[in-house]
């Protein structure tokens, strides 16, 4: 549609209503036909005039019938029943069905004969031949179907029963046409006032702004999408978790090193060297550099004793030989607890001795797991830990409840569990308001004395800790059911771009 056409249609629409306050265009369909322009273009112009309240439109729905392809053939060749009748000779010798089919083809006979019987144009004669029926007198019959179809073609409206019959015979199809009744709008004028979209310096210089008409400010219009980066949903949730944990007085641990020694990832946590998680089925070991170079030697000796005999922790240890080379194996950390152990060792041996600490970590950990919709070989572990004197299980339950309350989980249950480095240990379950079910939301425990004492922490210092993933809450928050959509090459970037802000309050 050229601008010219649009303008022509615009002027025609406005002119059509210039007659008076109550002038109207009864149906844009007829109007467009009269204008000789496509109805869609008329509607296009109508909508833009309506946007400026120059016109008002009311939806119209008109249903009417058009002749179908089948119907077209009836108009050209006559209805099947008429064609059958014309093949049935007047008189008693009639014609056999086979003869009819030979003449007209099975499908015409199938439809036509049925209709002929119904109209009593044709009847069964002696021996089953087909003869003219009561209403089938020669020349007395009018091809009603054909005539009706011609009416439809001529735009005439049919009686309901007629329409129903023709529709049932698929000779016509029902069409619903959408169009509009148009009346004047609140700011109707015979011609549209060209509204200025902006105030230019030229207009200011010339003063033409004084009598110019300006477009209304459309405060609802969406601004141009500004490009720029988007935080991945995981990082949005991480930001919220960080804020919450820092608000709870926790300090973030330095987790920017994915490769750890088995010593810090397992041995310092008193995880036995025979533990199944320490073989390649569960852990990614580094080929080069395969072994860690240095350890705090005195501490390593104490760890060795503790594993072998319990050392001076009051424990019996694991009663088997502890191998330095096993502890030296480098790996991709399987949990950020590997960093917690180093931080605890550091505060146990810092200047001025032990001071109570609250630490948290949120970073990637790697486990050689079978991948499924909720598990990849890597995920982000969220861990919180408090080291202080005479802490008890109640303190752990308390801090866990505080944390999860802040992320929207208010009903929490604990189930006894086992971790090699915590005793007692508890799995954490929460009733998830969106999922409307109890779900496992994490794990926790009190670090064993066999882990803490070798580090040099005072006897009355207890360390409570808990952990969860970042992926699970993010998937729930953003309604992502398959972790592969959240992370990795299948992740839908647009979803990341349009992911709403993460709020837990």
Angstrom distance (rounded) from CA 81 to CA 108: 8
- Identify which range of 34-42, 108-116, 238-246, 464-472 contacts ligand FB9 by CB under 6 A: 464-472
Angstrom distance (rounded) from CA 355 to CA 351: 10
* Residue found by looking up tokens 């580094």 in the block: 286
Please, what is the minimum distance in Å from the beta carbon of residue 313 to ligand FB9?
Answer: 18
Please, what is the minimum distance in Å from the beta carbon of residue 312 to ligand FB9?
Answer: 24
- The answer to whether residue 381 forms part of the interface with ligand FB9 (CB under 6 A) is yes
Residue 89 three-state SS: coil
Count of residues interacting with ligand FB9 (CB under 6 A): 23
- The answer to whether residue 409 forms part of the interface with ligand FB9 (CB under 6 A) is yes
Cα Rg, the chain, nearest whole Å: 43
Contacting ligand FB9 within 28-87 (CB under 6 A) = none
Which residue lies nearer to ligand FB9 by CB, 141 or 409?
409
Q: Tell me the residue number closest to ligand FB9, measured at CB.
A: 467
Please, what is the minimum distance in Å from the beta carbon of residue 425 to ligand FB9?
Answer: 6
Residues 6+ apart with CB under 8 A from 62: 27, 29, 176, 177, 179
What is the token pair recorded at 46? Answer: 């109508």
Neighbours of 264 (CB within 10 A): 21
What are the CA-CA distances from residue 404 to residues 248, 314, 432 (Å)? Answer: 12, 35, 11
Please, what is the minimum distance in Å from the beta carbon of residue 242 to ligand FB9?
Answer: 15
Applying CB under 6 A, which of residues 422, 448, 453, 454 lies at the interface with ligand FB9? 422
- Identify which range of 163-171, 295-303, 353-361, 461-469 contacts ligand FB9 by CB under 6 A: 461-469
What are the CA-CA distances from residue 312 to residues 207, 267, 305, 316 (Å)? Answer: 94, 16, 8, 9
- The answer to whether residue 473 forms part of the interface with ligand FB9 (CB under 6 A) is yes
- The answer to whether residue 341 forms part of the interface with ligand FB9 (CB under 6 A) is no
Residues 6+ apart with CB under 8 A from 139: none
- The answer to whether residue 271 forms part of the interface with ligand FB9 (CB under 6 A) is no
Angstrom distance (rounded) from CA 253 to CA 392: 23
Please, what is the minimum distance in Å from the beta carbon of residue 276 to ligand FB9?
Answer: 13
Applying CB under 6 A, which of residues 441, 452, 453, 486 lies at the interface with ligand FB9? 441
Question: Which residues would be at the binding site for ligand FB9 (CB under 6 A)?
Answer: 337, 381, 383, 407-409, 419, 422, 439-445, 465-469, 472-473, 476
């Amino acid at each position: 549609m050229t601008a010219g056409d649009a303008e022509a249609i615009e002027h025609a629409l406005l002119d059509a209503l210039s007659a008076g306050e109550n002038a109207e265009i009864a149906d844009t369909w007829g109007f467009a036909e009269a204008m000789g322009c496509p109805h869609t273009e008329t509607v296009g112009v109508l909508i833009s005039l309506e946007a400026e309240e120059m016109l008002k439109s009311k939806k119209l729905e008109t249903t009417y019938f058009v002749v179908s392809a089948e119907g077209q053939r009836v108009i050209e060749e006559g209805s099947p029943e008429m064609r059958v009748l014309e093949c049935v000779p007047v008189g008693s010798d009639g014609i056999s069905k086979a003869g009819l089919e030979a003449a007209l083809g099975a499908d015409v006979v199938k439809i036509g004969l049925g209709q002929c019987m119904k109209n009593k144009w044709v009847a069964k004669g002696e021996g089953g031949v087909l003869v003219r029926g009561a209403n089938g007198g020669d020349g007395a019959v009018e091809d009603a179907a054909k005539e009706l179809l011609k009416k439809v073609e001529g735009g005439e409206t049919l009686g309901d029963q007629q329409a129903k019959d023709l529709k049932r015979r698929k000779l016509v199809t029902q069409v619903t046409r959408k169009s509009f009744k148009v009346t004047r709008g609140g700011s109707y004028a015979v011609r549209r006032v060209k509204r200025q979209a902006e105030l230019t310096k030229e207009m200011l210089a010339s003063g033409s702004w004084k009598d110019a008409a300006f477009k209304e400010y459309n405060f609802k219009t969406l601004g141009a999408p500004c490009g720029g980066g988007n935080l991945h949903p995981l990082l949005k949730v991480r930001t919220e978790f960080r804020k919450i944990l820092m608000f709870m007085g926790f300090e973030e641990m330095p987790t920017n090193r994915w490769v750890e020694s088995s010593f810090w990832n397992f041995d310092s946590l008193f995880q036995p060297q025979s533990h199944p998680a320490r073989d390649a089925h569960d852990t990614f070991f580094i080929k080069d550099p395969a072994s860690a170079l240095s350890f705090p030697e005195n501490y390593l000796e104490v760890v060795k004793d503790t594993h072998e005999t319990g050392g001076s922790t009051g424990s019996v240890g694991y009663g088997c030989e502890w191998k330095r080379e096993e502890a030296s194996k480098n790996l991709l950390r399987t949990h950020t607890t590997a960093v917690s152990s180093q931080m605890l060792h550091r505060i146990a041996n810092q200047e001025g001795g032990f001071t109570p600490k609250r630490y948290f970590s949120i970073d990637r950990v790697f486990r050689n797991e079978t991948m499924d919709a909720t598990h990849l070989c890597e995920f982000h572990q969220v861990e919180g830990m408090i080291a202080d004197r005479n802490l008890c299980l109640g303190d752990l339950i308390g801090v866990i409840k505080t944390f999860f309350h802040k992320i929207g989980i208010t009903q929490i249950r604990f189930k006894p569990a086992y971790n090699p480095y915590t005793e007692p240990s508890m799995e954490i379950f929460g009733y998830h308001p969106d999922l409307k079910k109890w779900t496992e939301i994490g794990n926790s425990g009190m670090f064993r004395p066999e882990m803490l004492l070798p580090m040099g922490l005072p006897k009355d210092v207890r360390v409570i800790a808990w952990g969860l993933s970042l992926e699970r809450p993010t998937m729930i928050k953003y309604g992502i059911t398959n972790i592969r959509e959240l992370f990795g090459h299948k992740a839908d970037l647009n979803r990341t771009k349009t992911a709403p802000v993460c709020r837990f309050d």
